Amino acid sequence: MDIDSLIGAVERRQDELLALLSDLVRFETPAPPARNTDAAQDHIEGLLKGLGFSTDRWELHPGDSNVVGTLKGSAPGSHRSLIVNGHVDVAEVHEDEPWETGPFDPFIRDGRIFGRGTSDMKGGIAGVLFALKLLREAGWAPKGDLFFEAVTGEEVGEPGTLECHEHGYKADYAVVVDTSDLVLQGQGGVITGWVTVRSKATHHDGTRAQMIHAGGGLKGASAIEKMMKIIAGLQELERHWAVTKSFPGMAPGSNTINPAVIEGGRHAAFVADECRLWITVHFLPDERHEDIVAEIEAHLAAVAAADPWLRENPPVFEWGGRSMIIDRGEIFPALNLDRGHAATQLLSATHQAVLAQSASFGISPSVSDGGWFGHVGIPAVVYGPGTLKEAHAVNESVEIAQLIDFTKVMLRFMVEWLDQPKS
């Protein structure tokens, strides 16, 4: 098998690659509303079977399923294995957005292909599937096991990728082909949480004067006003993190605590007896969300201990969740990219050899399913076509030349990694 000839075929047969991506874009899989990926997964499962993969499929929610294709290696015990991972759900679309055609009606212009998901991240999925098509046509069979994970739920914090691990899919390395502008990336993590301040007693609005003046005789407080102390405490911790924590390649203060949503009170005739704050916490690639949760709770416990009312009505916490749609919560673990790992070095060297330019390393300013691999101990990288500027944008697009470059790199990388014996 002549790898250089196959790499050349990517460019010669680019119309097939673009047709494959266009087919994927036409499946309307925005999340929210979600529950709409099964038709796309039918298509991907059919493509995988046509390439000689066995497939496994299960439902996450009605209308949404995961598909994992397995191409067994000829020497799986002695050679490297690989997971390629991508999500088929795409960013939500509003009816009043000014798309030139329609978000799911792809078109090509000025060296770009347009449509929802071209950049985030059906372009990456299409590139790998087309690379596999060329390889299988040439008679390639890997020595190590190859797993192709087409997952759902990434856009709304649902654990499609985590469920693949829970179903037993493991490998020596994983490539998440999400939007990275062909930069080899790790990422920080994100966890959302609800902080609730709740009074043990309920008071009429007419009693407020007895609460806020010395000698009023009523030991009470507004939960909304007490939440202001909680917010101030979170701001203090955020500033502390900015000067005491750092990570190479990330700007100081990238680890933030965002007070995103606040809810509280009953109506105007009551002193507010409950207030809930929804926060989004970004943490560094070398941190665990469990440790971040413990740090925030300890800090707010100290804030509460310094306030007479909060001492008796301390904040309570709900962290994470398995769906932004169902329980308004999510976790994206961090991914601390191991630049010294043999697969990372091989991918970097392949990028340079195929594209005649040095590979770049970075930290994604966003999050992806890549963190789940780090969380379960599988070394991984985020590497795919498209830019964050295009992801989620109206008239989303990806540069065709970059999509072709990505396909070439992944074609060679998969062959060389899966043919490597384990050391």
Give the active site residues.
Answer: 89, 154
Give CB contacts under 8 A, 24+ apart, made by 14-21. Answer: 14/400, 14/404, 16/130, 16/133, 17/126, 17/127, 17/130, 17/403, 17/404, 17/407, 18/108, 18/113, 18/400, 18/403, 20/126, 20/129, 20/130, 21/106, 21/113, 21/118, 21/122, 21/123, 21/126, 21/403
Asked whether 252 and 243 are in contact (CB, 8 A), the reply is yes
Angle, alpha carbons 252-258-263 (nearest 5°): 170
Asked whether 231 and 237 are in contact (CB, 8 A), the reply is no
Asked whether 164 and 151 are in contact (CB, 8 A), the reply is yes
Report which secondary-structure segment, H or E, holds 203.
strand 203-204
Instruction: Determine the Cα–Cα distance for residues 234 and 246; give it in Å rounded to an integer.
Output: 18
Write out the DSSP string of 1-60: --HHHHHHHHHHTHHHHHHHHHHHHHS--EETT----HHHHHHHHHHHHHTT-EEEEEEE
- The DSSP secondary-structure symbol of 422 reads P
Asked whether 130 and 16 are in contact (CB, 8 A), the reply is yes
- Radius of gyration in angstroms for the set of CA atoms belonging to the chain, rounded to a whole number: 25
* Closest among 135, 137, 115 to 400, alpha carbons compared: 115
Instruction: Determine the Cα–Cα distance for residues 109 and 399; give it in Å rounded to an integer.
Output: 10
Q: 382 to each of 79, 118, 346, 362, how far by Cα in Å?
A: 23, 16, 14, 10
Torsion, Cα 356 359 364 365, to 10 degrees, reads -70
Instruction: Determine the Cα–Cα distance for residues 247 and 237; give it in Å rounded to an integer.
Output: 17
Write out the DSSP string of 151-188: E--GGGT--HHHHHHHTT---S-EEE--S-TT-EEEE-
* Closest among 249, 230, 203 to 297, alpha carbons compared: 230
